[in-house]
Amino acid sequence: MKSITIQGTKRESVGKKSTKALRDAELVPCVVYGGAETLNFSAEERSFKGLVYTPDAHTVSIEVDGQTIPAVLQDIQFHPITDKILHADFYQLADDKPVVMEVPVRLTGRAKGVVSGGALRQSFRKLKLKALPANLPDEIVVDVTPLKIGNKLYVGDIKAEGFTFMHPDNAVVVAVKMSRTAMKGGAVVEDDDEEETPAEGEAPAAEATSAE
């Protein structure tokens, strides 16, 4: 997985007054936990651009006082009005310790159902998974070519090599629905496919977003 570097300065004080002063100076209060000691530091808000405002997943190399700490972003807080970054939590990586993070889903191919006039519906644009740092993928590639109208692709259908999904197997990642255009054009579900009923606990058709 790709990594970006964030340079920071160790915080000697973590009180409300010093936190406000950092934010006024366009610095973000941060913490790294998961190692031998918890590290509080601050970093320029602009250094988060390549980490937060991107659809890609990254690990982070945090450089503080000559020390480099490999980590992943676990949580980030934004101002409800200005969207300025208020605080960021990182989790320190270790080669032998699994980590949980979200990875983008990239769809490839053109679904047979879409060719027939159906509409593709993607429920998850990111999937949460657990893996050792060395096994973290940059993305989850899903080939939708075989999907016909009425078909769904579940988390359990995706091959996971070196990692484990943190979603139930029956969570729907992508589906091909009957569209109004297809109905008007007389398109029907292929007769060799039985109509599927929603799986118990099926995820709603909306992006699952969760910054761990």
Which parts of the chain sit beneath pLDDT 70? Answer: 180-212
State how far the alpha carbon of 58 is from the alpha carbons of 49, 61, 91, 123, in Å: 12, 10, 13, 22
pLDDT score for 190: 39
CA distance 150 to 196: 7
pLDDT (tens digit per residue) in 118-141: 999 999 999 999 999 999 999 999
Mind listing the pLDDT tens digit for each residue in 175-212?
999 876 656 554 444 333 333 333 334 443 333 333 33
Per-residue pLDDT at 179: 73
Residue-level pLDDT at 185: 52
The DSSP secondary-structure symbol of 181 reads H
Q: Which conformational region is residue 97 in: left (phi greater than 0), alpha (psi within -120 to 50 degrees), or beta?
A: beta
Among 121, 147, 148, 136, residue whose Cα is nearest residue 206 = 121
Q: Residue 189's pLDDT is what?
A: 41
**pLDDT the model gives residue 127:** 97
Secondary structure letter of residue 180 according to DSSP: H
Q: What is the pLDDT of residue 24?
A: 86
